[in-house]
Amino acid sequence: MIITRFPPSPTGHLHLGGARTALFNYLFSKHHGGKFILRFEDTDKERSKDEYVESIISSLKWLGLEWDEGPYFQSKRFEIYQYYAQKLYEEGKAYYCECSKELLEARKKELQERGLKPRYEGTCREKGLSPGSGRALRIKVPEVAEILFEDLLRGKIVFPADEVDDFIILRSDGSPTYQFAVVIDDITMKITHVIRGDDHISNTPKQLIIYQALGVDPPSFAHIPMVLGPDGSRLSKRHGAKSILEYKEEGYLPQTLINYLARLGWGYGDQEYFTMEELIEKFDIKRVNLSPARFDPEKLLAFNGYWIRTLGSKDILPHLKPFLGDYPLYLYSEDYLLEILESIKPRVKTLKEMAEMMDFYLLEDLNYDEALVKKFIPPKKVPILKSFIENLHLYDFSDEKSLEAQFREFADREGLKLKELAQALRVALTGKTISPPLFEIMRHLGKDRVNQRINKVLKLLEGVH
């Protein structure tokens, strides 16, 4: 069975690059009917925070990247790491080192001054030291000409053996180093494929040495390019990139983020938009482009507009409701909410915009901008609005076409251009100059609320003009 993993460090929130890595691991495992594991690399006690664990978990769940096992925490697995470290020590594949940090720094500086590559020279390799205070455990790097592996995307990658010295796998306080913990986790969790950013390529030689020392075949590796900003530099907040939960709070749909992240460096023919089901069906890791993908906030926003227009209103409503907290939703049926959502969908690109645009549908009492009312409903239009509501009882509010026909007849009788009267009525009914079609608004608001709002505007105008 194919098993992948996503191993974030809980030292910050989940951002676009990490979410894309999680997505690619998820899609690869699901495409092959395998498992997706979540584990937290939380051995950095000072920077790891529970709030970030919760944030990352919330982000993954919101995106729909549900894991099959976990979450596991490295901080709770020290006994496992120490067991494997002891095994290597007992087999003579690792040794204890008593070199102090100061001594190692001095030696490093000396080698650099001589123009040599800083490396540990095996000072304690043959001393036969036993475990003790202040002693770290180093792995014995075998004498080979080169270290190589076959990357699923890049083909053969070769490292000169002299790039790796006898590195520490267990610190003097008994805690594992990153390289060691990762390998032991991947072995014990039976990880078959490691899909990660190409900034991890340089970690691979050390990890391969640990696999070899333990007599375990390494997983297959695929190192995907980083996500860059629009200017080609490393993606950061200055490019407008935010954490996944910030996108949620700004009114983006999870379908948008999933679709956009998948398209960052991966493609399937000319297809632009994908559901999760389509991505699982079509995902092939070898289709990942080796050129770094560039983040485009405008394209992400356009994707969100597409998914708002495309998804059914019943699918959108649960995501929209958190943005409607200030409105008296208890007054309205779900059918009404779905109807007005459908009305707004084509005109917005975020759920936040949607909530702001539909306020006139959900507020029983509108607060009008007097300057706006005065501009679009000058004194000459007041008698016309009065005449309009006097005839309101004759109008058929159940059908937009009937409403439009009756409205046109009224405008003709008053000798008005349709547009001129419509804009005045739009401001009276919505408090805005831009909205869904007027007759659609009237049908949703109903005769009583239309009457009430026009009367409120007329009363307001008595004190304005």
Say if residues 417 and 411 touch (Cβ distance below 8 Å).
yes
Find the angle CA(194)-CA(38)-CA(168) to the nearest 5 degrees: 60
User: Is 30 a residue of the active site?
Assistant: no
Question: What whole-number distance in Å separates Cα of residue 421 and Cα of residue 411?
Answer: 7
Complete DSSP assignment for 224-274: EPPEE-TTSSBP-GGGT--BHHHHHHTT--HHHHHHHHHHSS--BTTB---
The Cα–Cα gap between 310 and 77 comes to 45
219 DSSP 8-state letter: P
Strand order in the sheet with 220-224: 155-160, 146-151, 220-224, 193-197
Given the DSSP bridges, would you call strands 3-6 and 35-40 parallel, antiparallel or unpaired? parallel
Cβ contact 253:316 at 8 Å: yes
Closest by CA to 440, choosing from 343, 317, 308, is: 343
**Rounded CA separation 381/373 (Å):** 11
Task: Determine the Cα–Cα distance for residues 264 and 282; give it in Å rounded to an integer.
Answer: 15
Residue 438 amino acid letter = L
**Which residues are CB-contacts of 242 (< 8 A; sequence separation ≥ 6)?**
15, 250
Q: Report which of 227, 224, 247, 223 is spatially closest to residue 236, judged by C-alpha positions.
A: 227
Dihedral over alpha carbons 380, 381, 383, 385 (to 10 degrees): 180
Q: Which residue carries 């970030």 as its tokens?
A: 52
**DSSP, res 15:** B
How many C-beta neighbours within 10 Å does residue 133 have? 7
d(C-alpha 13, C-alpha 21), whole Å: 14
User: Considering 237, 314, 375, 386, which one is annotated as catalytic?
Assistant: 237
Which of the residues are catalytic? 237
